[in-house]
Homo-oligomer: A and B are copies of this chain.
Amino acid sequence: MTRAELIEFFGRVRKTSEAICEPLEIEDYVPQPMSDVSPPKWHLGHVSWFFEAVILANHVRGHQPFHPQYAYVFNSYYESLGLRVDRPLRGTLSRPTVKQIYEYRHHIDERMNVLIPSVDEAAWPEFRNLVVLALNHEQQHQELLLTDLKLLLACNPSRPVYRIDLRHPESRGETPKPACMAFPGGVYEIGFQGDGFAYDNEGPRHKVYVNDFRLQNRLVTNEEYLAFIEAGGYRDFRHWLSDGWMTVQQERWEAPLYWEKRDGTWCEFTLGGMRALDPGAPVCHLSYYEADAFAQWAGKRLPTETEWEVAARLSGARIEEGALLDLHTLQPVPLIEKEAPTTRALHQMYGNVWEWTQSAYLPYPGYRRIEGPLGEYNGKFMVNQMVLRGGSCVTPPDHIRATYRNFFKPDKRWQFMGLRLAEDG
């Protein structure tokens, strides 16, 4: 990546974050409706601070922080970068104001645009890698901005609309029945290897033995999930993991997040407001517990992350065809006719919804945590989480790979999360 290319990439990513916030009222930038979620203004400040703490502070001689307290306010979880506001208190801060945070962003933008061309050649490769990492970091927060905003608006009794002009592609006629594509067992290699960017947790590339397996050629739909609900799925312990059953009871879950029955009809809250459920769209906003219970009920199982990655590669699934971040849609879309699934291809592998896998988020063989703050990026979270693959409708299109490992605790469901069924071959 040349300097010019990096400057272009930098500009594009930074602008996208602001474009996401463009429809917001100032008040929308402030609240934190649950502790997993951050206020939009915090996201905007945090990603800027990341450039400052990880790049400017190390590559600009005599760098002075933009504001002495921003490190305290905008540090997320980097123990090596000092103390910080407790996560659940982010929503108590009215200051810095939105205006001040945009000033901060623009200040960082200027500094970075001066710095990128001026770094000397020897330092360039490492510097470039850091900038690319920080931009990928910002892309992750673009996804979070949208998922957090969705929750924030959904908590409001008036269910405000983020954008009234979103596209709502609808399924026409019956959704084709799913079928399975078969993959032969054997020793495969998975994990990232190559020149482009990848997170440290995607490597090292390594061998895995896989049994014969079969993967459904499309995602599970709302219609299929509704059948589970109507069959009493949320009231029958037999389908559930023990921790899942406890969660269902405690949280009184009866459907995916954002589903509401209004006058006998299932609706779902979207970034475009409340809408009738589209039966053919991929089911979304499920926890791991729900995804697993559905699979049990259906007599299938979730794929492992190895199976997913092997299948993504062998099936020739293309990222370019995925329903990834598009500021005019922002929701999963049904398969349209011409995509009618066959057993020789996998549809919807990229985008739409992150697919829960049966794999715990653990280090790959040979993985070692990096020293310093970047070592806190991924490695320290490798326990108590499950892996999701494939990206969602709010994942930037250049922010997904076959080897990309997303991870969440199994009770979380505010991300765009769904599932694809697997079975033994």
Contacts and interface: CB of A to CB of B under 8 A. Distances in A.
A241 B366 contact: no
Given A77-B242, A98-B27, A288-B383, A93 B156 contact: yes
A85 B33 contact: no
Contact of A158 (B69, B89, B383): B69
Interface in A271-301: 288-289, 292, 296, 301
A292 to B, nearest CB: 8
A402 interface: no
Contact of A27 (B26, B296, B366): B26
A378 to B, nearest CB: 10
Contacts of A73: 157-158
Contacts of A28: 94-95
Interface string A136-165: 000000000000000011011110100000
A365 B211 contact: yes
A241 B94 contact: no
A187 B209 contact: yes
In the complex, the count of this chain's copies comes to: 4
Interface string A249-268: 00000000000000000000
Interface in A372-387: 375-376, 380-384, 386
Interface string A78-121: 01100001000101111111100000000000000000000000
Interface stretch (A219-227, A340-348, A356-364): A356-364
Contact of A366 (B69, B207, B424): B424
Contact of A241 (B237, B240, B381): B381
Contact of A30 (B27, B77, B237): B27
Cβ-closest 3 pairs across A and B: A360-B360, A209-B209, A30-B30
Interface of A: 25-33, 41, 69, 72-73, 77, 79-80, 85, 89, 91-98, 152-153, 155-158, 160, 187, 206-209, 211, 237-238, 240-245, 288-289, 292, 296, 301, 358-360, 362-363, 365-366, 369, 371, 375-376, 380-384, 386, 410, 424
